[in-house]
Each structure stands twice: as C-alpha cells, then as structure tokens.
Amino acid sequence: MSNLSYIHEKDTAWLTFLEQIERVTPYLSDLKEHIDVLKRPKRTLIVDVPIVMDDGTIRHFEGYRVQHSLTRGPGKGGIRYHPDVNLNEVMALSAWMTIKTAVLNLPFGGAKGGIRVDPKTLSPRELERLTRRYTSEISYIIGPQKDIPAPDVGTNQNVMAWIMDTYSSGQGHTVTGVVTGKPVHLGGSLGRVKATGRGVFVTGLEAAQKLNLHIQNAKIAVQGFGNVGAEAARLFAESGAKVVCVQDHSATLYDSNGFDIPALQSYAEIHSGIAGFPQGKKISTDDFWQVEMDICIPAALEGQITLERAQNLQAKLILEGANGPTYPEADDILKSRGITVVPDVVCNAGGVTVSYFEWVQDMASYFWSEDEINQRLDKLMIQAINDVWTMAEQHQCTLRTAAYILACRRILTARKERGVFPG
Ligand code: NAD
C-alpha cells in the first residue's frame, strides 16, 4: 500500500510497481535502507494545457510529466497521448523506465509524460498547438541534461519535432538532444524504429542458446505485427525459425510451415492488418495461446498472459516485446512449469538503448551508420541479458526478479554514494 497522499487503492499500476519493489527488497541487503527512494517519484508535475480549437473555442487538457528517478542521470521516457492517461499510470510508467535504464546500465533515470486526450479527435493543427503548449508548460524541467522525452502510445516523430522546435525557441538556439525518436534529418538516429524488435531477437537468441533451444525450425508465435512484433518475426525467420502463428488487431493466422514474413509485412502495410493474407488458415483469437510453439512473443498489449493462458501455453520461452504482457500470478505458474520469461525491462529495452545512442550522437553532433548502431545495440543487449541471467542463477529466481535486483542495486548504490543533502 502506498503512503503517498495522492495515490489511492484503485491506482493499480503504481501499486503493482510497489509490489514488484517489495518482492526484490529481501535481495538488497544493506541497500534496503535506501529503498524508499523508489517508492515515490522524485518530481511530479501536473499542468493545465489550454488550446484554441479550430472553431475558435478554448479547451483545457490535463498534462503530466513525472520524473521517478534522476539518481543515475537525466530522466528518460516517452510521452503518451491517450484519453485514459492519469497520474497513477504515468507514475508507474516512469518507475518502470527507471528500472529499464538501470538494467541496461544506461546513464539515465526514469521519467514519463502524457496528456489526457484522444489524439484522433484533434485536427493536425490542434495536435500541434496542444504539443507546443504542453512543451512550454513542462519546458523548465526537461532538457538534454535534465529529462529527455520520446514517443509513446499516441505520439510519433512529428510530435517529437514540435517538442524540439518549441523547446529550442525558448532557449534561443537549436537543442536536438531534448527529445529522442526524432526524424533522422532533425538529429534522429538510424536504426531507432527497428531497435526494439531487434532487441527482442538478440535477447531471445541469447536465452535460447542458454536453454539449448535450437532456433533452426523453432516454432514461433507472435502477438502484434507492428514495429516490434514484425521486426522480431523477420529476424527470427531469417535465422531459420518458423513463425507459425501471427496475431494482430485484425486476425489470427496459423501455418505449421511458417509464414513468409516479408510478404506478410508488405501485405499488412498495404491492408492495415494481416486479415485476408492468402497464406495459412484463420483461427480464433483465443487459440493463439494454444498452438504448438517453442517461443511466444507477446508484442502488442499489456495483460495478455493470464493465469489460465499460462497454464496451457506450450512455449518453452516467452520474449516480452510489449510492456507488462504477463500478470504476476501467471508469472508464478510459468515459473512452476519451467517456462523461461525474458522480461520486458530487458527484452524490449532496444528502443531506449538506441534513444540513448540518439542522445549521445546529438550531444556530439556526430552520427553513426546503421551498422554501427546495430553493433552497439547488440553488445549492450547481450551484456544485459547475461547480467540478468547470472543474477537469476545466483539467487535461483526468475529473470524478472533478477532484472529488478540488478536495477535496484545499481540505483540504490548510486543513491547511497551520493548521500542525502544536506546530510
Ligand atoms: P505498433 O502500433 O507498431 O503495433 C502494435 C501491434 O499490435 C499491431 O500489429 C496491432 O494490430 C496489434 N494489436 C493491437 N491490438 C491488438 C489486439 N487486441 N490483439 C492482438 N494484436 C493487437 O506498436 P509497437 O511499437 O510494435 O509496440 C508494441 C508493444 O511494444 C507495445 O506494448 C509497446 O508499448 C511496446 N514497446 C514498444 C517499443 C517501441 O520502441 N516501439 C519499445 C518498448 C515497448
């Protein structure tokens, strides 16, 4: 239970984070005495964002930027535009960013922002005005050395370009390093769009090798065929695996021989989904979780692997491309069934890792080729999964618990060494 006055019992996302922190506390020895620093955000900003609509009326929107931890460096985390955005959710998402950057050992803390709005109901001009006013409201707490936003649900590289431009106008000079996920000709990084899917693949290969699971002809099921799912599927298929089942918002398709992934990708782009693709057969949404598979890649939504699905899932390895796809009680079942889960805070950290590279390149005004980016990405992802694996062996715990132990130790060691001002 939270002891923050602005958090209530219904605020499940934040309470889930607190529960995860409780679970790792026994592994933190004398660093335990600093644990409370993770149980409250460092800084929470709620802003009113008024804009003039195209019809001349004025509307007010609620915006947030939460910096959960700045202990290891500037805040890092996306900005979400969604009608359900609220303080509790933004706090939890910012805390998970703290964990993710620490697992990857990136020199960042964790942050997240958002506006309570359905962006689809705004015209492009209204969306731009909303973004620019929101940026101006949070501008004094963001910056390349303070907190660096990025895209999340409902925002994209155009929104990042407006944030960069608005922030730069206030500073009187161009500051590309204030956001990541920008268009490439505005200081964005090559390889950013495919980075998360690539990270899923790289950590997956490493995990498979440790489990003696051969990728050649391994059967893979992928939920979500967007940025993350399609890229991971493409790389696995290129390595000889058979992607036998693919699900997106439009359909669930099955083919025991494995899909032609490039063809499916082209089809999905043209038709905004995989429904109607001529290869394979259509199966029901729920049957996705029952098909014969070696590797399952949930890469669409949170809360997908329920207790019941965990009991029946045939996979040996789960690669969490999405954030939070597995319920905690399902995690326990998977553990008891000997199914390995590479958790989201490692598996899908390729995006924030290349965001880090984007920030480094912006600061140096020197840009790397896509090959250089991919090599650096692979190196950091392999290091992270190996660090987590070793920790899990040492403590005989799941990779998720191990990732949290690793992250909390890094953050709390930094906290301890910095001391408490004024002492
Ligand atoms: P995306 O919008 O490109 O693709 C999402 C995919 O999920 C689409 O194929 C869509 O059809 C599918 N989908 C939507 N609703 C579905 C449903 N009810 N059932 C099955 N499939 C459904 O998004 P993305 O960038 O690929 O992100 C996917 C997940 O990965 C999200 O949870 C996101 O938070 C997480 N993630 C993404 C990144 C990144 O860099 N893109 C980084 C970390 C985590």
Q: Is 227 marked within a binding site? A: yes
Q: What is the pLDDT of residues 17-51, one digit of tens each?
A: 998 899 999 999 999 999 999 999 999 999 999 99
Structure tokens at 264: 């499916």
- Please indicate, yes or no, whether residues 145 and 203 belong to a single structural domain of this protein: no
What confidence tier does 423 reach under pLDDT thresholds 50, 70, 90?
Answer: confident
Catalytic residues, which ones?
112
- Please indicate, yes or no, whether residues 160 and 275 belong to a single structural domain of this protein: no
Q: At which of 347, 373, 404 does a domain end?
A: 347
Q: Which atom of ligand 1 is nearest to the CA of 301?
A: 32
Asked whether the predicted pLDDT for residue 246 surpasses 90, the reply is yes
Instruction: State the average pLDDT over residues 192-205.
Output: 97
For residue 3, the model assigns a pLDDT of 74
Rounded-to-integer distance, Cα 305 and Cα 289, Å: 9
Residue 181 lies in a domain: no
What's 213's DSSP letter? -
What confidence tier does 301 reach under pLDDT thresholds 50, 70, 90?
Answer: confident
Q: Which atom of ligand 1 is nearest to the CA of 300?
A: 7
Q: Give 227 Cα–ligand 1 centroid separation in angstroms.
A: 7
Instruction: State the average pLDDT over residues 96-102.
Output: 97
- Please indicate, yes or no, whether residues 201 and 343 belong to a single structural domain of this protein: yes
Q: Give 229 Cα–ligand 1 centroid separation in angstroms.
A: 7
Residue 334 lies in a domain: yes
What confidence tier does 180 reach under pLDDT thresholds 50, 70, 90?
Answer: very high
- Please indicate, yes or no, whether residues 105 and 45 belong to a single structural domain of this protein: yes
Asked whether the predicted pLDDT for residue 4 surpasses 90, the reply is no
- Please indicate, yes or no, whether residues 342 and 253 belong to a single structural domain of this protein: yes
Residue 8 lies in a domain: no
How far, rounded to the nearest angstrom, does the alpha carbon of residue 372 sit from its chain's CA centroid? 22
293: domain CATH number is 3.40.50.720
- Please indicate, yes or no, whether residues 107 and 247 belong to a single structural domain of this protein: no
- Please indicate, yes or no, whether residues 80 and 166 belong to a single structural domain of this protein: yes
Residue 406 lies in a domain: no
Instruction: State the average pLDDT over residues 93-120.
Output: 97
For residue 1, the model assigns a pLDDT of 63
137: domain CATH number is 3.40.50.10860
- Please indicate, yes or no, whether residues 201 and 79 belong to a single structural domain of this protein: no
Q: At which of 347, 363, 380 does a domain end?
A: 347
For residue 16, the model assigns a pLDDT of 86
Instruction: State the average pLDDT over residues 197-218.
Output: 98
- Please indicate, yes or no, whether residues 221 and 256 belong to a single structural domain of this protein: yes
- Please indicate, yes or no, whether residues 214 and 332 belong to a single structural domain of this protein: yes
What confidence tier does 6 reach under pLDDT thresholds 50, 70, 90?
Answer: confident
Pick from 228, 261, 353 the residue to mutate for probing ligand 1's pocket: most ligand atoms within 8 Å of its CB: 228
- Please indicate, yes or no, whether residues 342 and 202 belong to a single structural domain of this protein: yes
Q: What is the pLDDT of residues 130-159, one digit of tens each?
A: 999 999 999 999 999 999 999 998 999 999
Instruction: State the average pLDDT over residues 115-144.
Output: 98
Q: What's the domain count of the chain?
A: 2
Residue 416 lies in a domain: no
Asked whether the predicted pLDDT for residue 5 surpasses 90, the reply is no
DSSP 260-279: -HHHHHHHHHHHTSSTT-SS
Residue 108 lies in a domain: yes
- Please indicate, yes or no, whether residues 272 and 313 belong to a single structural domain of this protein: yes
Q: Which residues contact 366 (CB under 8 A, 6 or more apart)?
A: none
Asked whether the predicted pLDDT for residue 11 surpasses 90, the reply is no
Q: Give 158 Cα–ligand 1 centroid separation in angstroms.
A: 19
| CA-closest residue to ligand 1 atom 5 | 226
For residue 13, the model assigns a pLDDT of 86
Q: What is the pLDDT of residues 401-417, one digit of tens each?
A: 999 999 999 999 999 99
Q: At which of 125, 140, 174 does a domain end?
A: 174
For residue 325, the model assigns a pLDDT of 93
Mean pLDDT of the chain: 96
For residue 303, the model assigns a pLDDT of 87
Residue 323 lies in a domain: yes
Instruction: Judge whether 236 and 204 are in contact, CB under 8 Å.
Output: yes
Instruction: State the average pLDDT over residues 314-340.
Output: 95
Note down the domain range covering 137.
41-174
Q: Is 348 marked within a binding site? A: no
Structure tokens at 321: 């491309």
Show the ligand 1 pocket: residues with CB < 6 angstroms. Answer: 196, 223-229, 247-249, 299-301, 321-323, 348, 351
Dihedral angle over CA of 147, 152, 153, 155, nearest 10: 80
Residue 14 lies in a domain: no
